[in-house]
Amino acid sequence: MHEMSLAEGVLQLIEDAARQQEFAKVTAVWLEIGALSGVEVEAMKFCFDAVMRDSIADGARLEILATPGTGWCMQCSMSVPMKEVFGECPQCGSYQMQVTGGTEMRVKELEVA
């Protein structure tokens, strides 16, 4: 379950931000997760709660902001939505696709006290 290591990375980012910006408590975290990132949202929620326990973000609310997958079709020269990394172009059916968005996971915002 790579979501556990991702949640640990989120905690590290939170702790670094707390040192730099001098806040003591995080009450909410907004994570932007791309549709093509390979992150299982329910597993991430579970791991987030487990990793944040006894930390500066213990009890913090996790908000998931889903971002769509997008790609560039080399056959029809169009930017199109993608549901899977190796999927076909919904316009022309070609598999000559280059993923252009939706693979990221990032901390979008923190609510602090």
At the topology level, CATH places domain 2-68+102-112 in hypothetical protein PF0899 fold (3.30.2320)
Q: What residue segments make up the domains of the chain, in order of their start?
A: 2-68+102-112
d(CA 47, CA 41): 10
Alpha-carbon gap, residue 96 to 104, rounded angstroms: 21
Nearest to 103 by CA among 67, 50, 78: 67
Contact indicator for 9, 106 with CB cutoff of 8 Å: no
**Is residue 1 scored above 80 in pLDDT?**
no
pLDDT in tens, 13-39: 999 999 999 999 999 999 999 999 999
| 15 neighbors 55 (Cβ within 8 angstroms) | yes
pLDDT the model gives residue 13 = 97
Q: What pLDDT score was predicted for residue 6?
A: 96
Give pLDDT tens digits for 34-74. 999 999 999 999 999 999 999 999 999 999 999 999 999 99
